[in-house]
Structure 1
Amino acid sequence: MELINHTTTNLITFVLAIYVGYHVVWNVTPALHTPLMAVTNAISAIVMVGAMLAAGLTVSSAGKAFGALAVALAAVNVFGGFLVTRRMLEMFRKKDIRKPSANAAQQANGAVR
């Protein structure tokens, strides 16, 4: 006989993961948000692979439906995370300052028709 059943162990692990995740994310300095986001995307991709395996190996229709839902939600998380990371990285790029061409300056003054 088991002292603690598997459901209780899984629930405890889930609650501890939420607690640790909350403290890790909120205590990160702003300079490290982009690397943290990239690592989060990698973890979500691993979750997506695990969800695909779980959906493929399950024989019940409810298990396949939940597996497909998990794959869809993980995919949204991965792609959304990559979009956010890309946007954050664009904020750190230097602005390209170009001199206006002579033709554009003449058009602005109305000299060229």
Structure 2
Amino acid sequence: MDDASIKLADFGFAKRVDMHDEGLKTACGTPGYVAPEILESRPYGKSVDIWSIGVITYILLCGYPPFHDDNHHALFRKIKQGQFEFDAPYWDAISDDAKHFIGQMLVVDNKLRY
């Protein structure tokens, strides 16, 4: 397996969100990391960051992203459905706790995501 590089960058769209905000509406993000609510043009908040952390954690543990497809429409469908797997043999040595941690961050319903 090749090494994977991850760089956290492009904070140009970063915004401080407080409890009184009704949600952000700007559609932005890198295709494989974007949360379902952004793809569905719904207002969003901090839970999109939790989603992205789930994607990054997944990549750090196995070396490839949870949602991947060369076709953007197919990729976005997988994201909106939360369609990912912990493929063998890459995930065989990864603890169930780590898989649970990722699974809780990659929940499609942002109200259940943590």
TM-score, normalised relative to structure 1: 0.30
Could you say which structure has the higher helix fraction?
1
Greater relative contact order (Cα 8 A, min sep 6): structure 1 or 2?
2
Of the two, which has the highest radius of gyration?
1
